Chains A and B, each alone.
Chain A
């Protein structure tokens, strides 16, 4: 009888890669999806389109405790990967209340439902480098103090504490992955990396001439999402639950991403990129840089995709999607 996994956020970037990984390992994969997604599958389920008939989808709203309980009881998972959240930092400034409601209550309900109905289930919580925020040391490790700078970061710190409390107080196998930024061709368009690469594709396709960005000097530690979900699975295979930073140990600025991406596309970025103060956040992080040595030592996990390869893969995927050609050298218009 195959191992059963329940993934919240299965339709997202990480959820889709994780579902594929678990299917390849012979799991019975279940996902929690919202009603509105099931009603618009072509768009809303697009990342899991190819595996749609191999996964079991359960309709439910994370913020409804009774429904979360029902789903947990129906599936009786051995592993639960809680990836669903309002995950865009910028939006969390626009609507703090929904962000906190979804992210704090969603995590709390999942943990409580699991404790009540499937206490032997192993739980993964998607924590984030955004908890470090205005980081008090660099690089950041599992012992670095939190200083979140947005309601998103605050909500993730809360979820991290809840996960740890359920582990310590009730002995649940509950772990947090403190994942630094992880991208891919499946990244949401609102996130800066995808915004850049899809913006380049639209420029090449003649659909636009300009790309408006916020703080070009922000630095992040960027990895490939496909590799990061492997770390999630590895955490749940450990005899003891624990928390791990997942990161590449390198950071790069948005400006560097822009430069590499435009160069790969054969465009001059200064001709197309405009910075807009409106896109600056009320509170910025300074430098996020992760120390994943614990994951390397205990899980045997290491990142593989380097920054230039990540950038190129995303540029080519977006250009391919629009049928636009990618040049190798910068041209002068």
Chain B
């Protein structure tokens, strides 16, 4: 049996790096799309996949360029394509809606178009998101909940979801969307609130900072571990029929809870360090997301393993370790 080939866009990101490891472990020949600027600065831009550089084949291309994607896909002829690359930070999508749209909508559209053209039997995964639900019209949110995106990021992902579904329905492609709720890890980008908190704690412990400025502490999210979520992606592409699935833990916690747990684990009193800044509020907030992943559980046999507390602890410890500081045993700080 010949080796299965997978192509990952966004391979240098959190999800891409975990997926790379998963697929290598399963014996895939793994290819990744990487921008030229990242290839030229591997220590920084490819840091998450440095340990595996000699096991993966990287191809230079840009999501905004149809010809470059066509070139890569035609050359690789993948059996599976995981389209994870995007401008994925909601906050930034308010600062620059146009690039967000260009990258996320065109990138998805071009990839689908290219696959239909030169590799129509390739199985395609699109990275949908709970941000499509946005100002959610029901709780918990499932595959049938109406979308109400609150940012250009969310809107661009709705468009990608619709395109993926259309290529499945109109052209019979095996094209699926994972509607993934927030998923974190020690590899999360620093701009995302979880990593911002845990890396902020490490800097405080290292004496490099005295303050952590956050936005809306009352925002609630359904947070899981990215390593488990990429397994769900793989499972979707092994199904005989393509379909869309919510991937989530079914538990919701506020940013405040994350802050409290994280600081407590570091032996710090969060009230002494955290400043809430209305400048960091979004023009349109998403107050609460909670996912119902029963379809993924039933059809894919997928379920989350890491608890919220374990996730917080793992991220605090990893960031502290990176800065060479110790995270004291979890304990309530005096006076909290």
Contact = CB atoms under 8 A, between A and B. Distances in A.
Interface string A146-189: 11111101100110011011001110000000000000000000
A97 B151 contact: no
Contacts of A194: none
Nearest to B152: A165
Contact of A146 (B147, B152, B283): B147
B276 interface: no
Those 10 A-B pairs whose CB atoms lie nearest each other, nearest first:
A169-B284, A282-B170, A169-B283, A283-B170, A161-B155, A154-B162, A158-B159, A145-B146, A168-B284, A283-B169
6 contacts: A145-B144, A147-B165, A158-B162, A161-B155, A165-B151, A283-B170
A150 B282 CA distance: 32
Interface in A258-300: 281-283
A96 B109 contact: yes
B298 to A, nearest CB: 21
Contact of A165 (B105, B166, B170, B284): B284
B159 A165 contact: no
Contacts of A148: 162, 166
A149 B135 CA distance: 24
Interface string B190-224: 00000000000000000000000000000000000
A149 B168 CA distance: 10
B89 interface: no
B146 A143 contact: yes
Contacts of B148: 164
B170 to A, nearest CB: 4
Nearest to A101: B106
Nearest to A150: B166
Nearest to B135: A168
Contacts of A147: 165
A165 B155 contact: yes
Given A105-B101, A154-B162, A162-B155, 18 more contacts: A93-B170, A100-B106, A100-B109, A104-B159, A112-B97, A146-B146, A146-B162, A148-B162, A150-B170, A153-B162, A157-B162, A158-B158, A161-B147, A161-B155, A165-B150, A169-B151, A281-B170, A283-B170
Contacts of B170: 93, 149-150, 281-283
Contact of A157 (B94, B159, B169, B282): B159
A320 to B, nearest CB: 39
Interface string A86-104: 0000000100110010001
B177 to A, nearest CB: 13
Interface in B163-193: 163, 165-166, 169-171
A108 B97 contact: yes
Given A282-B170, A283-B170, A161 B149 contact: yes
Interface of B: 94, 97-98, 101, 105-106, 109, 113, 135, 144, 146-152, 154-155, 158-159, 162-163, 165-166, 169-171, 282-284
Contacts of A151: 163, 166
B98 A108 contact: yes
Interface residues of A, number: 32
A149 B169 contact: yes
Specify the main secondary structure of chain B where it touches its partner. Answer: helix
A230 to B, nearest CB: 29
B109 A104 contact: no
B171 A157 contact: no
B146 A165 contact: no
A96 B159 CA distance: 13
A96 B113 contact: yes
Contacts of A104: 101, 105, 159
A100 B104 CA distance: 13
A213 B98 CA distance: 40
A168 B166 contact: no
B325 to A, nearest CB: 39
Contact of B163 (A154, A281, A283): A154
Contacts of B165: 147
Contacts of A65: 98
Nearest to B285: A169
Contacts of A165: 149-152, 155, 284
B334 to A, nearest CB: 42
Contacts of B113: 96-97
B111 to A, nearest CB: 13
A151 B149 CA distance: 19
A59 B97 CA distance: 26
A114 to B, nearest CB: 14
Contacts of A146: 146-147, 162
A281 B171 CA distance: 11
Contacts of B162: 146, 148, 153-154, 157-158
B171 A282 contact: yes
A172 to B, nearest CB: 11
A95 to B, nearest CB: 11
Contact of B155 (A97, A134, A158, A170): A158
Contacts of B159: 104, 154, 157-158
A117 B106 CA distance: 27
A84 to B, nearest CB: 18
Contacts of A112: 97-98
B133 to A, nearest CB: 12
A134 to B, nearest CB: 8
A128 to B, nearest CB: 14
Interface string A189-223: 00000000000000000000000000000000000
A151 B164 CA distance: 11
B285 to A, nearest CB: 9
Nearest to A283: B170
A147 to B, nearest CB: 8
A131 to B, nearest CB: 9
